[in-house]
Structure 1
Amino acid sequence: MIGLMGRVTGRIGAGLVGEVMVHIPERLGTEAFLAYRATPGESLEPGAMVVVVEYQPPRTVYVEPL
């Protein structure tokens, strides 16, 4: 999961959970994950491209903008 790119589909605010769609080549598709910013900063709006920097099973990722 770490290093995969995705697109924000639900706004990720400061300290708030959002949603990203991440393309997973091994599963031949795209899946939705709950997402938080890895470092505090501005919110990420829908459509922003992000990279996964941490994964917490079962469906939570921490992301940073590209």
Structure 2
Amino acid sequence: MVGEQGRVTGAVGPGLVGEVMVRVRGGAEAFLAYAVEPGERIERGALVVVMEYQPPRTVYVTAAYA
């Protein structure tokens, strides 16, 4: 899970519990998402990288830059 890319479907940021879709087990699944960097805001539609995974459905992400 760590290192996988996903797409933000609900904004991630301070005071928010965001949502990202990540490809796993041959499909895409939704995970609750928090920003790794305090104060970082990641808008809906942005590509992110999973930096930390906390089972069962929580990830900490950072924006992926092309």
Report the TM-score when normalising by structure 1: 0.90
Map of 1:9 onto structure 2: 9
Map of 2:28 onto structure 1: 30
**Unpaired segments ≥5 residues, structure 1:** none
Bigger helix share: 1
- Output the amino acid matched with 1:42: E
Q: Distance in 2 between matches of 1:13 and 1:52?
A: 15
Fraction of identical pairs, as percent? 67
1:46 corresponds, among 39, 44, 47, to 44
Number of aligned pairs? Answer: 64
Q: Please tell me whether the aligned partners of residues 11 and 43 of structure 1 are also in contact (alpha carbons under 8 angstroms).
A: yes
Cα-Cα RMSD? 1.0
**Structure 1 residue runs of 4 or more that deviate by more than 2 Å after TM superposition:** none
